């Protein structure tokens, strides 16, 4: 059958149109990352998520269905070694089939050093902070000295070999919207390369996402402005990026990493810190034992609240990142403005 020019045109248009193009199989490790990817893939497809529900990335164990999803993936987005430890070996075994994107290495990401110990002194932003725009020079030294004195072997073993892997940097980078923008740019670029047929859609979605992130950044700064000088205590040390961006004051953390339960000495150190701080707030997290928070605030005027830095309680999807960040701002404001 002789193909007419019109028919040729229609088939070319059809075959190259997004609708026909095979949507790439994309996997994202944790909910905050999945949310950014889902935003950029809107109208094209949906990424699959590994750490679902209320599970914590720090204690997660791979399921056979996860391994199958990775095997079929064309692109895998994760934060990186030191956070999703459960992914390190499976990704090594994946071979070159899939494109693996470590978003902690995206251009423009600001990295903060992993913090030692349970009590943090307020850092004066005039200080020279060393690595990648921020480190903890003198403070770190004082913490290490403090740790060596008071915690000796316990601090050594517990904190350095569990949970956060052995990385140098705090891996909760998504808690700064400017880092989320850097991640979004890398996600958009990767998807456009992996799926050129939908590149225009990814680009348009990326622009919309960047506008939303700028708006979020402004509204968070307003939300926490009234309470930014009020120190508070958190469950695990996940909030440094939020703290750095909005100048709120994390006075200490009950544990460094959720699966390393704090020893009695650390709990008493935190209790002493809360007494020092006077009226303040101590924040639990949905995935972890709230009893510990009651232990450290007992007999002090401190109030308790809840923060959810890994979105354990939120529905996965494009809006999750915004709900996660707004919830942190609101929870801090609600508790600290009533802690007088
Ligand atoms: Zn964490």
| CATH code of 136's domain | 3.40.50.1980
Number of domains in the chain: 2
**Cα 159 to ligand 1 centroid, rounded to whole Å:** 13
Cα–Cα dist 216/273, whole Å: 32
Work out the pLDDT band at 5, boundaries 50, 70, 90: low
For ligand 1, the distance from its centroid to the CA atom of residue 310, given in whole angstroms, is 7
Statement to judge: residues 195 and 278 lie in one domain: no
Residues 325 and 212 occupy one common structural domain: no
Give the sheet arrangement for strand 26-28, strand by strand. Answer: 48-49, 26-28, 75-78, 99-102
Residue 87 CA, ligand 1 centroid: distance in Å: 15
Same domain, 252 and 316: yes
pLDDT at 73 (0 to 100): 94
Residue with tokens 């994760």: 78
Helix (H, G, I), strand (E, B) or coil at 314: coil
* Res 1 pLDDT > 50: no
- Per-residue pLDDT for 105 more than 90? yes
| Residue 76 resides in a domain | yes
Q: Which residues contact 217 (CB under 8 A, 6 or more apart)?
A: 177, 178, 245
Residue 2 within any structural domain of the chain = no
Residues 258 and 266: beta-carbon distance below 8 Å = no
Between CA 248 and CA 227 the distance in angstroms is 7
CA 200 / ligand 1 centre spacing (Å)? 34
Q: Which structural domain, as residue segments, surrounds residue 294?
A: 126-170+224-338
Confidence grade of residue 9 (pLDDT, cut at 50, 70, 90): low
List of residues 6+ apart from 250 with CB closer than 8 A: 120, 231, 232, 233, 234, 237, 239, 240, 243
Check residue 3 and give its pLDDT: 54
| 5 within a domain of the structure (yes/no) | no
Distances (CA, A) of 306 to 9, 11, 112, 312: 59, 56, 24, 12
Rounded CA-CA distance 83/88 in Å is 9
- With respect to residue 333, please indicate whether it lies within any of the assigned structural domains: yes
| Cα-Cα end-to-end distance for the chain | 84
Q: How confident is the model at residue 162 (pLDDT cuts 50, 70, 90)?
A: very low
What residues contact residue 303 under an 8 Å CB cut-off, 6+ apart?
279, 280, 281, 282, 297, 335, 338, 339
Give the Cα separation of 104 and 243 in Å (integer).
18
* pLDDT for the residue numbered 57: 92
Mean pLDDT of the residues in the chain: 84
Q: How far is the CA of 285 from the centre of ligand 1 (A)?
A: 10
Is pLDDT of 229 > 80?
A: yes
Cross-strand pairs, 252: 119, 233
CA of 333 relative to ligand 1 center, distance in Å? 21
Q: What token pair was written down for 8?
A: 């040729």
Residue 17 CA, ligand 1 centroid: distance in Å: 41
Q: Tell me, in angstroms, the distance from the centre of ligand 1 to residue 75's CA.
A: 24
Residues by chain with Cβ below 5 Å of ion ligand 1:
238
**Higher per-residue pLDDT: 273 or 328:** 328
d(CA 49, CA 84): 13
Cβ–Cβ under 8 Å, residues 132 and 111: yes
11-69 pLDDT, tens per residue? 555 555 555 557 889 999 999 999 999 999 999 999 999 999 999 998 899 999 999 99
Rounded to two decimals, the pTM is 0.82
32 and 83 Cβ atoms separated by less than 8 Å: no
Give residue 259 CA to ligand 1 midpoint distance, Å. 10
Give 3-state DSSP helix, strand, coil % of the chain, rounded to 5. Answer: 50, 10, 40
The neighbour count for residue 56, using CB atoms within 10 Å, is: 20
Domain match, 65 and 209 both: yes
- Which of the pair, 270 or 27, is modelled with greater confidence? 27
pLDDT at 193: 96
Q: Quick one: CA dihedral 115, 117, 120, 124, positive or negative?
A: negative
Distance 14 CA to ligand 1 centre (A): 46
- CA distance linking residue 176 with residue 217, whole number of Å: 8
How far apart are the CA of 306 and the centre of ligand 1, in A?
A: 14
Whether the pLDDT of residue 143 is over 90: the answer is no
Do residue 154 and residue 252 come from a single domain? yes
Residue 37 domain flag: yes
What separation in Å is there between the alpha carbon of 312 and the centre of ligand 1?
11
Is the pLDDT assigned to residue 157 strictly greater than 70?
no
Q: Are residues 39 and 62 in the same domain?
A: yes
Q: What is the mean pLDDT of residues 195-216?
A: 98
How many angstroms separate the alpha carbon of residue 232 from the centre of ligand 1? 17
Which value, to the nearest 10 degrees, does the dihedral of the CA atoms of residues 192, 194, 33, 97 take? -170
Domain boundary among 218, 236, 252: 218
Average pLDDT over residues 83-105: 91
Q: What is the pLDDT of residues 301-316, one digit of tens each?
A: 899 999 999 999 999 9
Rounded CA gap, 27 and 146, in Å? Answer: 42
Ligand 1: centre distance to CA 193 (Å):
31
Which of 189, 218, 247 is the endpoint of a domain? 218
Give the distance (Å) from ligand 1 centre to CA of residue 16: 42
Shared-domain flag, residues 47 and 137 = no
Give the closest residue to 259 by CA, choosing from 58, 4, 28, 35: 58
Q: What separation in Å is there between the alpha carbon of 338 and the centre of ligand 1?
A: 26
């Amino acid at each position: 059958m002789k193909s007419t020019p019109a028919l040729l045109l229609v088939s070319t248009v059809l075959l190259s149109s997004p609708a026909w193009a095979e949507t790439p199989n994309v996997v994202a490790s944790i909910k905050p990352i999945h949310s950014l990817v889902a935003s950029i893939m809107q109208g094209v497809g949906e990424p699959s998520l590994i750490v679902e529900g209320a599970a914590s990335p720090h204690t997660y164990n791979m399921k056979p269905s996860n391994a199958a999803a990775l095997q079929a993936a064309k692109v895998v987005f994760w934060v990186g070694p030191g956070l999703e430890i459960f992914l390190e070996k499976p990704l090594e075994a994946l071979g070159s089939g899939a494109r693996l994107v470590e978003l902690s290495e995206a251009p423009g990401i600001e990295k903060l050093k992993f913090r030692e110990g349970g009590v943090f002194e307020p850092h004066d932003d005039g200080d020279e902070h060393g690595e990648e725009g921020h480190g903890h020079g003198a403070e770190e030294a004082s913490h290490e000295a403090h740790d060596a004195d008071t915690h000796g072997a316990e601090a050594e073993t517990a904190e350095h070999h569990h949970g956060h892997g052995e990385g140098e940097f705090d891996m909760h980078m998504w808690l700064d919207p400017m880092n989320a923008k850097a991640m979004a740019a890398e996600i958009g670029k990767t998807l456009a390369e992996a799926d050129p047929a939908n590149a225009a859609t990814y680009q348009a979605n990326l622009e919309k996402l960047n506008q939303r992130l700028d708006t979020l950044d402004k509204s968070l700064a307003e939300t926490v402005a009234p309470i930014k000088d009020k120190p508070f205590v958190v469950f695990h040390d996940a909030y440094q990026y939020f703290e750095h961006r909005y100048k709120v004051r994390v006075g200490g953390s009950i544990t460094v990493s959720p699966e390393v339960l704090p020893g009695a000495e650390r709990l008493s150190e935190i209790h002493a810190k809360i007494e020092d701080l006077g009226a303040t707030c101590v924040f639990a997290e949905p995935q972890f034992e709230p009893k510990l928070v009651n232990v450290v605030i007992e007999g002090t005027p401190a109030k308790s609240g809840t923060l959810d830095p890994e979105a354990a309680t939120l529905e996965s999807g494009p809006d999750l990142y915004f709900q996660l960040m707004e919830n942190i701002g609101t929870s801090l404001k609600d508790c600290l403005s009533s802690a007088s």
